[in-house]
Amino acid sequence: MNFEELLAFLGRNQMLSLVFAALTVAIIVNEISRLFRGFKALRPAELTVLMNRENALVVDLRPSADYAKGHIPGSKNVLMSQFDPESKQLAPAKALPVVLVCKTGSTASDAAKRLKKAGFANVYVLDGGIGGWLQADLPLVKGRG
């Protein structure tokens, strides 16, 4: 296909061309925003390595009842309504990797932004949240921790 044929196709399929252009722009904007958000998404396998090698603090932001039904071994439960980067539970971990976990990953992203703003250097979010952990067939611990 040459350039003239491409232009003719785009002219005949204006709506398709518009949708394609909009999707392309959306993908580019999303990728650029990922670069500048200040934290990284971790896959479950990467989280296990970080926990074992660098003593990462894993903070589970889900409600206490969900946490008690099953959580990542060694994680600490902090309710999002009580989430404070300067709390006695989080402040000592400024130099450690901190991994935030929620149900799907979106609540953890908001908390990660707050940690970065408070000066935490190594902030991560579990990609896919606790659901991603389960999909990777990794174990959960029941109880309050």
Q: How far apart are CA 121 and CA 38, in angstroms?
A: 9
Amino acid code (one letter) for 3? F
Among 100, 102, 123, 130, which one carries the catalytic annotation?
Answer: 102
Amino acid code (one letter) for 85? P
Q: How far apart are CA 105 and CA 31, in angstroms?
A: 17
Encoded tokens for 73:
């071994």
Three-state SS at 72: coil
CA distances to 15, 28, 32, 103, 108 from 20, in Å: 9, 12, 18, 32, 31
Q: Is 102 a catalytic residue?
A: yes
Sheet (strand 57-60) strand order:
40-42, 122-126, 97-101, 57-60, 76-77
Catalytic site positions: 102
